[in-house]
Structure 1
Amino acid sequence: MKNELKNRMQDFAFNCWKLCSVLPKSREYDAWVRQLIRASSSVGANYRAACRAKSDRDFINKLKMVEEEADESMYWIELFLKTRLQDKAEFKTLWKEANELLAITVSSINTVRKRIS
């Protein structure tokens, strides 16, 4: 499961990058593209760090960063969905994946919190 989730998060980052690479090159899109690529890449990178946590509390703290980056990715995707871009279906797919990754992360945080309480 852990490797499956790592791969899924890596695929999410790659798919965000791939979609961003075909967006119009303009000052307006550039800021959002950079933010989405950064946030989506941080989801998997922070999850990998969480997998190497030294304690349950460390694990939770690192997963909270995953939660924040997944939520931020959703924010940037939502902004792209408000534009007149043709690729809205692809952005909706990315938003759905970010939402699922966020839900998995929050569930994991809650499970560990219950265990250590």
Structure 2
Amino acid sequence: MSEEKNQMYFAADPTAKHDEHVVDYHVDDIDLKFTTDAGVFSKMRIDYGSGVLIKTMKDVTFPKEGILDVGTGYGPIGLFAAKFWPDQTVDMVDVNERGLNLARQNAKNN
């Protein structure tokens, strides 16, 4: 991975100029809208691997201890988990502050 991309995804405070986009994503009867930005992973769309996980995780039974989304970025996996299982606590963490701020914003908007 190039040093620039590595810095963008794994830096606490990415230096990339802001370039916000909106991504709409639909699974079953759930529609979510995500604000994304430069300096976070897959800003133009939900990446293939995350899409597969989102579409298949709804059929999983989780223990009541909660769900942890590590490397949440702007939050698509964690926010879909919260919609699939509204009785669960979903914690979303990331080293990238820009991603975390977007995840907070997306949680409020969805």
| Structure richer in strand, relative to its length | 2
**TM-score, scaled relative to structure 2:** 0.28
| Structure richer in helix, relative to its length | 1
Q: Larger Cα Rg: Structure 1 or Structure 2?
A: 1
**TM-score, scaled relative to structure 1:** 0.27
